[in-house]
Structure 1
Amino acid sequence: MRVYHTIIFAVLIFFRIVPSDVRAETIAFGVGEWSPFVGEKLHDKGLYSKLVAEFFEKNGFQVALEFYPWRRSLELVRSGTLPATFPWSFTEDRQPDFYYPKRPIGFLNDVIYYRRDRFPNGLTINSINDIRSKGLSAVGISDYWYQNPLKEAGIEYHEVSYDEQAWKMLALGRVDIFIENDVVGDRRKASVLQNMSTVIDRSEPFRRVPVFILFSKKHPLGKKMMDVWDARPSVN
């Protein structure tokens, strides 16, 4: 019994004398469903989730992922409730509220999805201006990078909260195009539309962009986490 009490006493003393910054801090990321990069039911919670979690755990943090709709994740980090969210592309309007690190998680391709019967010869798009000049209507998800550029260009734009709504609007011919990452889009097209997915085709990539972890400017760990992340090697 004396040995047991001695061990307990030693453990208590350890946690009293070891500085808090030496112990592992738990950091929570606000994320959403974006297979294969992030997903609650995916192996390791997705490719990017694994990369981010392994990096921060090797640097002394305990990592937790909290799954919400993407807009909710962004707002929780904006308000400082959570310290970070990923993956997001760069937009100037987010800069006042978020730290953008120097190092991206990776690079992704955006493509244009469209109905085959609407554009039987394919569709070549190289910019937002091309969408406007062709008089195309678009559907998009709230708070995605293209939202403001499409609106500012005067393009007919239909905003939805979930990608299921976007895919169904496209398949039913209510809009001309839907912009999405090629890897995610090919998976989600098949999952959401099933047999109807064959009516949808896509363009060649028109945009290759880095995607980032966004760190909160209002959360006390936001800047610290970004500095730790930026110490990692660059991603090509």
Structure 2
Amino acid sequence: MKLIQMLVALTLYIFIPLNVSAKEIEVTLYGDANYPPYSYMEEGELKGIYANIIKVAVSRMKGYKVTLVGVPWKRGLRLIESGKGFAIYPPYFHVEKRPYIWPYSLPILDERVMVICREDLFFRALRLNWVEDYYGLVIGINSGFHLGGDAFWQAVKEEKITVSEAKGNRENLLQLGLKRIDCYLNDRISILWELKKLKQSGEYDEGGKHTMLMEGATVSIEQGFMGFTDMDDGQFAFKEDFKKQFDIIIYDMRRSGEMQKIINDFLR
């Protein structure tokens, strides 16, 4: 009799539908709404290089339904600091400045500040050394920006280098193309993205009305991360698992060259 009961129970167990996959956890990731070309809002959607990379990464994660939401940067940081927001991208690694962000993911992108110059300036020298190889030149920067490092600004103070400020990427690149400045200092991808748009619109005729350009020295490198709140008091109990899955996928995307392909496709 007991054997029959066991067989019946086993049969029922076999035919009871099983929910083998737990319900997906809904997660919101906040991104900078005004940081083109890395992260920005367009037609109500968060776009940019970081968004493209993160969308691929989270699509491969198991157990999560992820939504990307664009916010002004300072508002996003306040959400993380209050513990209401789970994670934000792409903060730089500033633990002392922002103790409420912890942990950080693996680095997602290397953001490289460089100078782009008129090609003819490199005929006699490669100008690999920042800042000495750029003495005597006029360097364009965006108004309000303070890139270049202490040695650069000391050289400006000593009048070894002249700085010319303009409103943004577009204005500086057009000035450079017309040889009104010698080089332009800014983030590499931001420069290349704006230059692509200018060429597509016909505003920059490289080799015709406008001079040919060439990349110069690397000035500095910053890395962008996914930063998680450390102020949630255990509200996001899945944080460690989410970060672990995300890191593994980001590492694989960097190692395989897939991430660089995403960047290249964005800049084409």
Match of 2:70, SS state, is strand
AA in 2 matched with 1:96: K
AA aligned to 1:211 is Q
Aligned counterpart in structure 2 of residue 164 of structure 1, from 164, 170, 177: 170
- Residue in structure 1 matched with residue 116 of structure 2 by the alignment: 113
Gaps of 5+ in 2: 1-21, 157-161, 256-268
Q: Which residue of structure 1 lines up, in the alignment, with residue 75 of structure 2?
A: 76
- Residue matched to 1:130: 132
CA contact (8 A) 1:56 1:62 kept: yes
Q: Which residue of 1 aligns with 2:218?
A: 206
Pairwise CA RMSD: 4.7
Q: CA deviation at 1:24?
A: 1.0
Aligned length: 206
- Could you report, residue by residue, the CA deviation over 1:97-149 in whole angstroms, capped at 9, with x for unpaired residues? 365835111346554212346x26276333433356455433147568x3554
CA distance in 2: counterparts of 1:218 and 1:160, whole angstroms: 39
Residue 197 of structure 1, CA deviation: 4.3
Which structure 1 segments of 5+ residues have no match? Answer: 1-17
Residues 1:104 and 1:153: Cα distance change in structure 2 (over 3 Å): farther
Given the alignment of the two structures, is residue 51 of structure 1 paired with residue 58 of structure 2, yes or no? no
Corresponding letter in the other structure for 2:194: R
2:227 aligns to what SS in structure 1?
strand
Aligned-pair CA distance for 1:201: 0.5
The 2-side partners of 1:51 and 1:78 are apart by 21
Q: Distance in 2 between matches of 1:120 and 1:202?
A: 8
Q: In 1, Cα distance between the equivalents of 2:167 and 2:102?
A: 25
Aligned residue number for residue 24 of structure 1: 26
Specify the alignment match of 1:96 in structure 2. Answer: 97
Question: The residue matched to 2:198 in structure 1 has which SS?
Answer: helix
**Mapped contact 1:140–1:157 kept (Cα < 8 A):** no
2:140–2:166 Cα contact (<8 Å) kept: no
For residue 8 of structure 2, what is the aligned residue in structure 1?
none
List per-residue Cα deviations over 1:59-100 (Å, max 9, x = no partner): 525222427xxxx53x334444764233x666x6x8503658
TM-score (norm 2): 0.53
Aligned to 1:175: 181
SS of equivalent residue, structure 1 residue 211: strand
> Residues 27, 46 of structure 1: CA spacing in aligned structure 2 closer, same or farther, 3 A cutoff?
closer
Distance (whole Å) between structure 2 residues aligned to residue 32 and residue 150 of structure 1: 30
Structure index of larger Rg:
2
Amino acid across the alignment from 2:213: D
Match of 1:185 among 183, 191, 195: 191
